[in-house]
Amino acid sequence: MSHIGFIAAAYAITAIVLAGLVAWVIVDGRIQQAALGELERRGIRRTGRQRGGEAT
Amino acid sequence: MIGAIAMLFRRETTLALRVGGGAMMGAVFFLTIVAIMPFAVGPDLNLLQRIGPAILWVGALLATLIGLDRLFQADHEDGSLDLLTMTELPLAVIVAVKAAAHWVTTGLPLVIAAPLLGLMLNVEPAALGAVALTLAAGTPALTFIGTIGAALTVALRRGGLLVPILILPLTVPVLIFGVSATNAAVTGPMAVSTPLTILAGLTLLSVVLAPIAAAAALRLAFD
Amino acid sequence: MLEFANPTRFMALSRSVLPWLWAAAAGVLAIGLVLAFRAPADYQQGLTVLIMYIHVPSAWLAMMCYAVIATSSVGTLVWRHPLADVSARAAAPIGACFTFLALVTGSLWGKPMWGTWWVWDARLTSVLLLFLMYLGLIALWRAFDDPARAARPVAILALVGFVNIPIIKFSVDWWNTLHQPASVFRFDGPTIDPSMLWPLMVMAVAFTLLFLAIHVAAMRNEILRRRVRAMRVKAASTLVPAE
């Protein structure tokens, strides 16, 4: 059936978009965790005093 | 309170009609759109007659959207908006009056220009009055719905195309019934009343509800 | 509900729930796909009915996602729930994606069925407008420098849009009957054979679970992102070189 192409395309694009969403959520999570880790390493706190008087 | 409303209305219309007020720009833009359409679709008068109502409505919609940023922007920037909120008038009423004045200075010229532009689009002279009537019934809805978008973006500096993007989907019902009513008016005795009534209903609904939503949005800009 | 109000508690709770959500989504999706491919071909549409098993759930999710955003918006405006706008912000791109999928799969279904890539029927057109409304929400969010400040304007826009949805649906339906094409397009006929209903339902559940998993994960990311931003702002404002 010539319609196979359309079916395949529909499933393919669905897979790509959904996989892309999942990937975005996972990668974004890693990026935020990394940024958070970096900031904590530099001694920056969300509340309260900063550590020491050192400028970075 | 009536006195305050009248004064606000007069202030709005006076400011809009002054040089730099931008009131008549909407009508000129309307004319421009109608004028360039034949370059895009060809000068075939039959075709133009068929899509004439659509051109008129899309032109009216775009012209309304273009002019919306002057509704709150200038007042917000120079602080008059803050002063207005300190008067006795509820913010929703202030928004409604500003929107009404905006329609009178921007929408009403479109309604007046429409019959002339309709002639350019080969609309039958007998139907021109009805065309103006349908636009008069529907353009207030466009203005009032647009007010919500203007209120949401008043504090943003990079507003730009944001207001049309936000507002256009919400104006689709007005567009649908407006074109339908205008079509009915143009192509003959088919009942104009149904779409026209619904159009009027949409206008009334937006006149009542939009100022409330817009006032809520404006208050956020004051925080 | 109140115990979720604390972002820290939400982070802890979601961390334990999330793996199960992913697993459930993957599992049900697998079952659904098997059921779909084993279901009989439609007597009218042949194998192309397979597209229905992803098009219809996508459309349902597109609408459900907006309902989530609308509910979150009420939470933001009425109760100032701290996680409400995080929920809405996280849901918007997901909803936009499902809406996009509904449109594209609808288009790919329409071409072999009715010969055109795009059909201006009431349903597809309404979905197109929904897509534009999602884009509008995302655009408004990104226009604000501080995401927390964007929460309430976007909530207002979302609710205005939500109220508008029945009006839009009514208008587009009315418009569609006005311009009625020769045949009536019905993606799912008045009665769906049970052999097709089950795979459809399972796929719908699978998509819903997938949405929940992605949504919760995205909410976690958004909370982290705001923490990062707050810390950077604080760092920038306190790192003053000693004279």
At C219-230, the pLDDT tens digits run 999 999 988 988
* Range from B189-198, C64-73, C228-237 carrying the lowest mean pLDDT: B189-198
Best of B180, B220, B222 to disrupt the C interface (most C CBs within 10 Å) is B220
Which pLDDT belongs to residue A56?
A: 42
| Whole-number average pLDDT of chain C | 84
Q: Is C164 on the interface with A (CB under 8 A)?
A: no
Which pLDDT belongs to residue C45?
A: 64
Minimum distance, in Å, between the CA of residue C70 and any CA atom of chain A: 21
User: Rounded mean pLDDT of C105-126?
Assistant: 78
Q: Is C194 on the interface with A (CB under 8 A)?
A: no
C abuts B (3+ Cβ pairs < 8 Å): yes
Q: Where are the domains of chain B?
A: 2-222
Under the banding of pLDDT at 50, 70 and 90, the label for residue B22 is low
Which tops the pLDDT comparison, B222 or C10?
A: C10
Burial class (CB in 10 A: 0-12, 13-18, 19+), A41: exposed
Best of C47, C211, C228, C237 to disrupt the A interface (most A CBs within 10 Å) is C228
**Residue C177 pLDDT > 80:** no
Which pLDDT belongs to residue A2?
A: 65
Nearest CB neighbour to C136, from listed B169, B180, B223: B169
Nearest CB neighbour to C231, from listed A3, A9, A39: A39
Under the banding of pLDDT at 50, 70 and 90, the label for residue B154 is confident
Nearest CB neighbour to C156, from listed B165, B169, B216: B216
* Record: contact B217-C153, CB cut-off 8 A: yes
pLDDT digits (tens, 9 = 90+) for A13-33: 999 999 999 999 999 999 999
**Residue C90 pLDDT > 90:** yes
User: Rounded mean pLDDT of C5-13?
Assistant: 86
Q: Is C220 on the interface with A (CB under 8 A)?
A: yes
Nearest CB neighbour to B170, from listed C140, C144, C160: C160
Amino acid at B55: I
Minimum distance, in Å, between the CA of residue C44 and any CA atom of chain A: 13
Residues of B in contact with C165 (CB under 8 A): none
* Record: contact C139-B162, CB cut-off 8 A: yes
* Record: contact C139-B173, CB cut-off 8 A: no
Q: Is C233 on the interface with A (CB under 8 A)?
A: no
Which pLDDT belongs to residue B211?
A: 93
Q: ipTM for the complex? A: 0.82
Nearest CB neighbour to A50, from listed C50, C218, C238: C238
Nearest CB neighbour to A39, from listed C220, C225, C228: C228
Under the banding of pLDDT at 50, 70 and 90, the label for residue A49 is low
For residue C243, the SS3 value is: coil
Q: Is A34 on the interface with C (CB under 8 A)?
A: no
Q: Which chains border B (3 or more CB–CB pairs < 8 Å)? A: C
Q: Is A7 on the interface with C (CB under 8 A)?
A: yes
Structure tokens at C42: 């439609």
C 69-98 near A (Cβ less than 8 A):
93-94, 97
A-C C-beta contacts closer than 8 Å: 100
CA C173 to chain centroid, in Å, comes to: 22
Under the banding of pLDDT at 50, 70 and 90, the label for residue C242 is very low
How many CB atoms lie under 10 A from the CB of residue A12? Answer: 11
Structure tokens at C5: 């109000």
pLDDT digits (tens, 9 = 90+) for B166-192: 889 999 999 999 988 888 877 765 666
Under the banding of pLDDT at 50, 70 and 90, the label for residue B136 is very high
Which pLDDT belongs to residue A18?
A: 94
Residues of C in contact with A26 (CB under 8 A): 217
Which pLDDT belongs to residue B61?
A: 92
Which pLDDT belongs to residue B129?
A: 84
**Residue C181 pLDDT > 60:** no
Under the banding of pLDDT at 50, 70 and 90, the label for residue C173 is confident
Which pLDDT belongs to residue B46?
A: 83
Under the banding of pLDDT at 50, 70 and 90, the label for residue B213 is very high
Which pLDDT belongs to residue B86?
A: 80
Which tops the pLDDT comparison, C49 or C104?
A: C104
